[in-house]
A and B are shown apart, each in its own frame.
Chain A
């Protein structure tokens, strides 16, 4: 992006790149609305287990199995994702004021939280598949993996985007006049966070 980018004049008087990311985020609201609707509409319409919150009997062995959802691990991931939103906004604060140390520390902390969250989700998916829950197993499996899988993909894209910003910051290529680049990545990251704020109670807490 050119150093002169900040000097561009627009009809609205606003930065077009910020308007673009907000428009994209608006469209993403619709995207996740369909996935959340799909999950809610199919909730409780399972013919076979595993179930999210209720014990179930394995038809092959006759053994009664525990509910598949594990609240403590996901709560930790949720807390770290929330804190990552705080960290990235502090990184942006540093970037806008030319405070490189503040930018690097908080952006690094954001990346750590994002990577932890993705790792938590990979562990959770593997754990669920090992317990017999797959996309094809039942309606819960299908809607759960599609909803949380797409969210996890968004988190992964966010981690890659923020890692790119971190690389630029380390190289000294993220001065205050280019901080809008980090602001766009941060807006996307916050959106990923607010989507999880909805998904967490809907999928993990509401029975």
Chain B
């Protein structure tokens, strides 16, 4: 079975420039939050509160990055409006990539902990 779908068919489903600008502003604010969090925790002005935040620093940073990643993929790369096949072709390898990173990091952490304990 074949189907005729012009390349521009979905073009008008895409967000407006105003929406793109709002997403850009959110991305900028999230980046500023990331750097602010770093300065607050490790910078020259870091105080007692910074030390209290330190255990949550990496999880917070990863959450902020994940939100930025999702916003760019959904709105700027149009995955929110485009065919689900494109989402599948991107998200499936992305999940494998995340599993690979986690597996290698956990494996190495286990290896080094084991090596230290003898």
Contact = CB atoms under 8 A, between A and B. Distances in A.
Interface stretch (A88-96, A152-160, A161-169): A88-96
5 contacts: A10-B5, A19-B86, A22-B86, A26-B89, A71-B38
Contact of A29 (B17, B76, B97): B97
Contacts of B6: 6-7
Contacts of A11: 1-3
Contact of A75 (B4, B21, B35, B61): B35
Question: What 9 pairs between A and B have smallest CB-CB spacing?
Answer: A33-B97, A13-B3, A86-B24, A26-B93, A37-B104, A9-B2, A180-B7, A6-B7, A13-B5
Contacts, number: 147
Interface in B78-92: 83, 85-86, 89-90, 92
Interface of B: 1-8, 11, 14, 17, 20-21, 23-24, 27-28, 31, 34-35, 37-38, 42, 57-58, 61-62, 64-65, 68-69, 72-73, 76-77, 83, 85-86, 89-90, 92-94, 96-98, 100-101, 104-105, 108
A194 B3 contact: no
Contacts of A128: none
A206 B8 contact: no
Interface residues of A, number: 55
A197 B100 contact: no
B7 A15 contact: yes
A131 interface: no
Contacts of A12: 3, 83, 85
Contact of B77 (A19, A33, A190): A190
B76 A89 contact: yes
A171 interface: no
Contacts of B93: 26-27, 29-30
A172 B37 CA distance: 46
Nearest to B60: A201
Contacts of A82: 24, 27-28, 31, 68
Contacts of B7: 5-6, 15, 18, 177, 179-180
Given A22-B89, A26-B89, A30-B100, 13 more contacts: A11-B1, A27-B93, A30-B97, A33-B96, A33-B100, A37-B101, A176-B8, A179-B8, A197-B69, A198-B69, A201-B61, A201-B62, A206-B58
